[in-house]
Amino acid sequence: MKNHAFELAKKEYERWGIDVENVLGKLQSIPISIHCWQGDDISGFEVNKSELSGGIEVTGNYPGKARTPEELRADLEKALSLIPGKHRINLHAIYAETDGDAVDRDKLEPKHFQKWVDWAKQHRVGLDFNPTLFSHEKSADGLTLSHPNREIRQFWIDHCKACRKIGEYFGKELGTPCLTNVWIPDGYKDIPSDRLTPRKRLKEALDDIFSVEIGGKYNLDSVESKLFGIGSEAFVVGSHEFYLQYAQANNKICLLDTGHYHPTEMVSNKISALALFNEKLALHVSRPVRWDSDHVVTFDDELKEIALEIVRNDALDNVLIGLDFFDASINRVAAWTIGTRNMIKALLYALLMPHQQLKEWQEKGDYTKRLAIMEEFKTYPFGAIWDYYCEQMGVPVKENWLTAVEEYEKKILLKRDATFVKV
């Protein structure tokens, strides 16, 4: 039985010609690719682990970090049970399961991810994938695909080739194409004397990686840029301009990470520009605080604007939405839940806007009505629609999900660290 608050809110939106039931059906069909690495602070399960590198930092020591693949999958299951809709899980290559054997990254095979595939089938989720070009002895100097040493460069080329085959395997097994995304940390701490040569090597390496054609039915290739990182403050080889041109010239997907740009540069502003010239584009939604800090996604103005740009431009089928944040200072299951629910909230917020009317006012030059209605809609009863959606999807309404996380922490997570005493 529909609750009273929902019925009242529904009528408010219907006055503007917004079909709320249709909106909720559309929202249910939008998958978010949830990153597995929030659950273990990007540690992975390699036999010979290296310290986290590549300009990536995870801060905090909250108890309950997943230590095994089984623990990580259990934590993901708990988070998925609190998030409305059917979604995807995004893996890095370091989450391979090799049964105790030391398998280097250039030798990874689909069999090393069989348990992930079996789990994904059981829970009816798709899988996405990323080569891991950091936290390895061959990336210790901050260079991988652009490395001047041919042997090191070839190692990473072979790793990326292996990952594309794994992505293709995911797509075949799960019946939904895997997005295999290439990001590298390559760059220099101080001002380079030659920017062109490293970029030539990166281009040649990418050409080699993509030389084997894998159809889009099973695998989609994307490339991801970055502005700077710790240890690459002065120069990054794979800049936005480089990958934008490479993706356009080679029919690859350009992936925009919301933390990989200048603090005043908005990814939301880029979506319509790329959508005009690309069949698909991909997002890693994060929250930068002063730099690429990968804070948990909040329901802030930029998140709402990203969702608005996707929805108002009819790009829901063309934009692949993934998340990328990691915070070890709070409960990791809660972090997944907060961030993913906020991404879905933003999409719902965007779907409940009278876009056609707003566009018409803009075209007519009636900026007064455009601004007035956009502002008024900020306080429309969106929350009642969201609560009803969560109820219909069988997940906790409002903050009630937090009780389930606290119980899970007490029964499961705290037992992973018996020395922790909660204050």
Say if 51 falls within a structural domain: yes
DSSP string, 117-134: HHHHHHHT-EEEEE---S
284 catalytic per annotation: yes
41 catalytic per annotation: no
Per-residue confidence (pLDDT) for residue 421, from 0 to 100: 44
Say if 314 falls within a structural domain: yes
Read off the tokens for 227.
């502005």
257 catalytic per annotation: yes
Per-residue confidence (pLDDT) for residue 406, from 0 to 100: 97
Strand partners, 187: 236
260 catalytic per annotation: yes
Residue-level pLDDT, tens digit, the chain, 423 residues: 458 999 999 999 999 999 999 999 999 999 999 999 999 998 999 988 877 777 677 888 999 999 999 999 999 999 999 999 999 999 999 999 999 999 999 999 999 999 999 999 999 999 999 999 999 999 999 999 999 999 999 999 999 999 999 999 999 999 999 999 999 999 999 999 999 999 999 999 999 999 999 988 999 999 999 998 889 999 999 999 999 999 999 999 999 999 999 989 999 999 999 999 999 999 999 999 988 889 999 999 999 999 999 999 999 999 999 999 999 999 999 999 999 999 999 999 999 999 999 999 999 999 999 999 999 999 999 999 999 999 999 999 999 999 999 999 999 999 997 644 443
Per-residue confidence (pLDDT) for residue 53, from 0 to 100: 75
Say if 89 falls within a structural domain: yes
Which listed residue (35, 226, 280, 304) is catalytic?
Answer: 226
Say if 423 falls within a structural domain: no
Per-residue confidence (pLDDT) for residue 303, from 0 to 100: 98
Say if 224 falls within a structural domain: yes
Which listed residue (260, 280, 295, 345) is catalytic?
Answer: 260
224 catalytic per annotation: yes
Cβ-contact 75, 112 below 8 angstroms: no
Per-residue confidence (pLDDT) for residue 418, from 0 to 100: 60
Which listed residue (40, 294, 302, 327) is catalytic?
Answer: 294
Instruction: Look up the pTM and report it.
Output: 0.95
Say if residue 79 is exposed, middle or buried (CB neighbours under 10 Å; 0-12, 13-18, 19+). buried
Per-residue confidence (pLDDT) for residue 167, from 0 to 100: 98
366 catalytic per annotation: no
Count of domains forming the chain: 1
Which listed residue (75, 186, 292, 309) is catalytic?
Answer: 292
Which listed residue (65, 252, 284, 304) is catalytic?
Answer: 284
Read off the tokens for 371.
């601004």
226 catalytic per annotation: yes
Say if 422 falls within a structural domain: no
Per-residue confidence (pLDDT) for residue 194, from 0 to 100: 97
Read off the tokens for 342.
């906020």
Per-residue confidence (pLDDT) for residue 47, from 0 to 100: 87
327 catalytic per annotation: no
Hey, what's the torsion of the CAs at 301, 306, 310, 311, to 10 degrees?
A: -10
Rounded to whole angstroms, the Cα distance separating 163 from 161 reads 5
Domain with 58 in it = 4-416
Per-residue confidence (pLDDT) for residue 51, from 0 to 100: 78
Say if 56 falls within a structural domain: yes
Q: What's the CATH code of the domain at 122?
A: 3.20.20.150
Which residue intervals of 210-253 are DSSP H helices? Answer: 240-250
